[in-house]
Amino acid sequence: MFIIKVEANFSSAHNLRGYKGKCEELHGHNWKVEAEVISGKLDKAGMVLDFQYLKFKLNSILEKLDHKYLNKIAYFKKFNPTSENIAKYIYNTLSKTLIPKSNPATKLNSITVWESDKSSATYYDA
């Protein structure tokens, strides 16, 4: 099995509903996002997936979150904008458009969202 990863960043604000503590107040993060893709085979060029392609697809999602108040985005009106739910949102959105025809064995394995250098949440579809 082969694994590739890319990282990207976005900045946004949010507050957590139903949470007692500092995070219930409006605050922001400089989020780091790691996308991990796996495949049992390589394409004709000897790659799981072109890094540029993966970065482009990930960044196209993150652009919609960058410098936004996450609580106002439709998905996060229904789901609290926790790191866990942000990871799931990115995973679900990216997995719909990621797989290239050149290597159908490729699968998005996980999304990890870092809200600080020491705190992260990972989502993967089991």
pLDDT in the model for residue 100: 67
pLDDT at position 118, please?
A: 96
Residue 33 makes CB contacts below 8 A (sequence gap 6+) with: 7, 8, 9, 10, 58, 62, 90, 111, 112, 113, 114
Q: Which domains does the chain have, with CATH numbers?
A: 2-123 (3.30.479.10)
Which position among 7, 14, 23, 34 bears the catalytic label?
23
Confidence (pLDDT) at 98: 83
For 50-102, what is each residue's pLDDT tens digit? Answer: 999 999 999 999 999 999 999 999 999 999 999 999 999 999 999 998 876 66
- The answer to whether 27 is a known catalytic residue is no
pTM for this one?
Answer: 0.94
Task: Mean pLDDT check: name the lowest of 17-21, 85-89, 118-122.
Answer: 17-21
Average pLDDT for the chain: 94
Q: Exactly one of 24, 27, 63, 67 is catalytic; which is it? A: 67
| pLDDT, mean of residues 35-39 | 96
Task: Look up tokens 């509903």; give the residue.
Answer: 17
Our answer to whether residue 34 is catalytic in this structure is no
Q: Mark whether 14 is an active-site residue.
A: no
Distance of alpha carbon 14 from alpha carbon 30, whole angstroms: 12
